Structure 1
C-alpha cells in the first residue's frame, strides 16, 4: 500500500467517526499538535483550532444533532504524499428542528498515521443559518 493510500485511509477514518458520532475516535485521530481550520466568519465554527478546542467543538456538535451524529457521505478523494482531499456532504437533523445538508471539501494532512492539519471548506452561509438561525 502506498503512503497516499495509507493517508487516505486515515483521513476517511475521521469522516467515518463523524458519521458514527464517535467524538473520542475523532480526537484520537488528531496529533497533539494538530490544527483544524474552518472557512468563514461564523462565531464558534470558523477559524483555527487546536486539538483540545476541536474536542470541545465536536462534542458540542454531537449535542446539536438529533442522533448525536453528523452522517457524512464521501463523494471523491484524491491524495498526493501527505495530503488527502475529500469531497463530502452531510445530512443531519438538529435539535432546533433544522435540517443540515452541507457540501464540504476537506484538505487533510497526515503525518506518521496521525492527522496534523485539517482545512474545512463549506457553504458557510448555510452553516451560519443552521447554527445561529
Structure 2
C-alpha cells in the first residue's frame, strides 16, 4: 500500500465514524487491532488498550455519555510508509450538559489496507471532567 492509500483508509475510517456508520468504520480495522487511549487508568478510567470488541464497548460508553455524539473534524494529516498521523478537533455536549472541546492526535499503523494500531493523544483532564460519570 502507498502512503496515499493508507491516508485514504484512515480518512474513510473517520468519515464513516462521523456519519454514524460504525459497521463501515469497523470494517477498516484489522482483526488484531489495538486502540490505545492515552492516560493513566487510575486518573482517567477510559485510558488503556482496547481490542476490536473493546473498541465497540468503549464507543458505546462514550455514546451514553455523549448522546448527541461527538463531532470530529480532521485538521491535518501526514503519512510515511505504513503510518498515518491525524490532527483533529472534537466537539460535543454530554448528557449532563458539559461542553466537550478537545484537540487530538491519532497515530495509526496499517497492515494490508487495514488499521492495525491506533494511539489516541488528547487532554485527558478535560475528557475526564466531561466524559467520566461519578456518583
Asked if these proteins are the same fold (TM beyond 0.5), I'd say yes
Q: Give how far 1:24 is off.
A: 2.1
Q: Give how far 1:4 is off.
A: 0.4
- For residue 17 of structure 2, what is the aligned residue in structure 1? 18
- For residue 127 of structure 1, what is the aligned residue in structure 2? 127
Say whether residues 1:70 and 2:57 are aligned partners.
no
- Asked whether the 8 Å contact 1:10–1:113 carries over to 2, the reply is yes
The 5 Å alignment of 1:20-39 reads: 20-39=19-38
Q: Give how far 1:56 is off.
A: 1.2
Structure 1 residue runs without a partner (length 5+)? none
The 5 Å alignment of 1:1-133 reads: 3-41=2-40, 42-43=44-45, 45-67=46-68, 69-132=69-132
Between Structure 1 and Structure 2, how many residues are aligned?
Answer: 130
Q: Give how far 1:59 is off.
A: 2.2
Separation (CA, whole Å) in 1 of partners of 2:4 and 2:94: 34
Q: TM-score, normalised by structure 2?
A: 0.88
